[in-house]
Structure 1
Amino acid sequence: MIHQKRTIYNMSKKALLIIAIAVSVVACNKTTTNQVKEAKTAYIDTSELMKQYTEAKDLEAKYKAQSEEKGRQLEAEINRFKQDAANFQSQAQANGQEWAQKRGAELQKREQQLGYAQQQLAQQLQQESGKEMDSLVSGVKKFIKDYGKKNGYAYIYGTGDAASVLYAEDKYDITKEIIKALNDRYKSEEKAEEKKEEKK
């Protein structure tokens, strides 16, 4: 009988412990759920941001102009080479085999040099624009971080090329706000630069 009472007592003790654990788990879940509900979140379409951000557009235009300018010089040399190559075929029979071999070797060497020059130009522009673009991107990330802190966001996600959000309601989209804020900052920095230049 005493043994039975002890077993019942131990069982009720265990049951109370299980109930206490269950209650604390539910309480924790409620707290977590409340915290999640209170968290201010938003997302930015990073592709749209880079399309509409004035500094990014200016950077793209700068390197497009450089590419066209340097490409024109190279294109003139390529056109001269094409003309010489076309003339070579018509002159080869008239000038004999020895001339054709010598001239052919010269043209081949020129073709290789032009190919190398094209490669070098592309690499140079890629490296220069890459450095500036990396600097721009890290500046944008810092701006978004500061913007998030200032405006009380718990999370700001990114969608677009490097998507980390698979779905979000449109009301959480702050892309336009960020674009406007970034463009305003860029304009004010440009004006400050112009004033510095005027003072010089």
Structure 2
Amino acid sequence: MKKIILSLLVLVLAASCQEQQKIAFVDNGQVIEDYQMKIDMEAKFKKQDEAYKRKTDSIGQAYQLDAQQTQLKLSSLSQKKQQEGSQQFSQKWQLIQQQLQYEQQQMEQAFSKEMDSVIKSVNKFVEGYGEKNGYTFILGKNAAGSVMFGKEEKDISEAVTKAINDDYNGKDSKEDATETTEKEEDK
């Protein structure tokens, strides 16, 4: 019995002597929201969206003008000719509407694809950041609740955001990341 207790005591002591694992978490939403690459991408798509809206506004005005002119032309024709003219008018504008919908879908798909690229970039960066700074785990905090609670001193979102933006902007973030990590360890 003494041997079993002694063995358990040795195991407990050995386990407690193991090196502490370095664990932190990142607020995924905050990092992505503040990531300069995402901000730049959104600005690019905002310009495209504004150009698309200007295009649809001018097409809408052209439609109204064309509708008025077509209505005037058709009003003096027979009912059969009015129906034919109305049908031609509808077909013409239906094609234009389909083209606009297609362009909008293309923009949405391109935005989605680039957003996926931003998320992959953040994930890859956090992985490298964790390895470089000796973390065993960096957990992701998000609305789904993967981290329900974390002590504020374990939240490295700000440090990761600064490092990823420095990296994106071409700065050498090694020194900054090391300084930030040393500050985190002091907490």
Q: TM-score, normalised by structure 1?
A: 0.72
User: Residues of 2 paired with 1:29 and 1:127: CA distance?
Assistant: 55
Structure 2 residue runs without a partner (length 5+):
172-187
Which of residues 109, 123, 127 is equivalent to 1:141? Answer: 123
SS in 2 for 1:188: coil
User: Residues of 2 paired with 1:140 and 1:85: CA distance?
Assistant: 50
Q: Aligned pair count?
A: 171
SS in 1 for 2:150: coil
8 Å CA contact retained: 2:28, 2:140: yes
Q: Over aligned residues, Cα RMSD in angstroms?
A: 2.8
Deviations 1:56-81 (A, max 9, x none): 10001101111221332233123211
Pair 1:99 & 2:81 matched: yes
How far residue 99 of structure 1 moved from its aligned partner, in angstroms, is: 2.9
SS in 1 for 2:146: coil
Q: Percent identity, aligned pairs only?
A: 29
Structure 1 residue runs without a partner (length 5+):
1-15, 190-200
Which of residues 110, 127, 150 is equivalent to 1:168? Answer: 150
SS in 2 for 1:95: coil
What is the one-letter code of the residue matched to 1:164? S
Name the structure 2 match of 1:71: 53
Name the structure 2 match of 1:80: 62
How far residue 107 of structure 1 moved from its aligned partner, in angstroms, is: 2.5
Which of residues 133, 142, 156 is equivalent to 2:138? Answer: 156
Q: Once structures 1 and 2 are overlaid, which stretch shifts more, 44-53 or 93-102?
A: 93-102
Give the helix-richer structure, 1 or 2.
1
How far residue 98 of structure 1 moved from its aligned partner, in angstroms, is: 2.4
How far residue 173 of structure 1 moved from its aligned partner, in angstroms, is: 0.9
Name the structure 2 match of 1:125: 107
In structure 2, relative to structure 1, the CA distance for the partners of 1:149 and 1:90 (3 Å cut) is: same
Larger of the two Rg values belongs to structure: 1
Q: TM-score, normalised by structure 2?
A: 0.76
How far residue 151 of structure 1 moved from its aligned partner, in angstroms, is: 1.0
